[in-house]
Amino acid sequence: MLGMTLVCSAASIGGLTVVMTRFVVPETDPFTLASVRYLIASACLLLLIAYQGRRFRVDPRDRLGLIVLALIFFAAFPYCFARALEDTTSARGALIYACMPLVTMFLAAIFRIERITSWKFFAVLFAIAGVWSAIGFDVDAPPNAIRGDFIMAMGTAFSAAYTAFAKRYVMKYDGVAMTAWSMLLGSSALFGIAMIFGTPFSGSLDLSLKGWGALLFLALPGGALMMWCFISGFRLVTPTQAAIAVGCNPLTAILFAAWILLEPIGWGSAVGFALVTMAVLCANKKSSPPPSSGAI
């Protein structure tokens, strides 16, 4: 339950990052926003691990895997996340991202990372049903919402791949130190791309006071704190259980989008919250062991 509390807290903060990203992205470009956000967050985490005296030495056999995961989760995913929210709403974006448990579950099953029990399968169904109920089917779509939805789906696949394959590295190494260095690597690579396709030094960082406030939120509680909660909890739960917690993401996104962005909120939010709560409980439910061969 401690692990689920931490990953649910991370997902809840993540819901607010959806809103903050949609709030600030019109003032900047997605390459710059995503890279600067995680550069600041990685700097904070690196200061923390330096203060605590943590060391991160990587087995040479794991270097390629860690580099690929860093580029997937801290370069490809944040770009898709920010780019998608240029076109679609907070609610639709959070809805699509909340489908990540399905992708994670199938990846974990295909590669035999985790055995999928009937309870976990029902947990995924409850989570998806809760998200659809919370957001509803009548959200007014912007003109390019379909394009944004597709880009968010790509980002969801990247995030699911990280959730499925990063588990063994999180258990093998210091999870916070691994995350900090991976975040620095991925965001540095993305910033290099931003210098080619974005405008970090010629307009994208000329933000308003509210824009800088949103960016700092995305970097600190929405970056460093969120990832600390996620990695700390991730050590205590399975990949599917961690992915189930993503259901908390759209619920907080709905509430804060209604408050900050004046996006509509439907009656299904209460039902959605109940379904997501059931999903978390099902994900933690242990299946009964099969009877022994000597049982009568």
Contact of 132 with 95, CB cutoff 8 Å: yes
Q: Which of 153, 189, 160 is nearest to 67 (CA)?
A: 189
Please determine, for residue 37, whether its predicted confidence score (pLDDT) is greater than 90.
Answer: yes
Q: Quick one: tokens of 54?
A: 């943590």
Q: Which residues of 245-260 are buried (b: 16+ CB within 10 A; e: fewer)?
A: bbbbbbbbbbbbbbee
Question: Who contacts 191 (Cβ-Cβ below 8 Å, separation ≥6)?
Answer: 31, 32, 35, 36, 39, 200
Mean pLDDT along residues 232-253: 81
Confidence of residue 283 (pLDDT cuts 50, 70, 90): confident
Q: What is the tens place of the pLDDT at every residue in 72-92? A: 999 999 999 999 999 988 878
The arithmetic mean of pLDDT across residues 178-185, rounded, is 94
Q: What are phi and psi of 142, to 5 degrees?
A: -65, 170
pTM of the predicted model as reported, rounded to 2 decimal places: 0.82
Q: Using CA atoms, how far apart are residues 162 and 158, in angstroms rounded to an integer?
A: 6
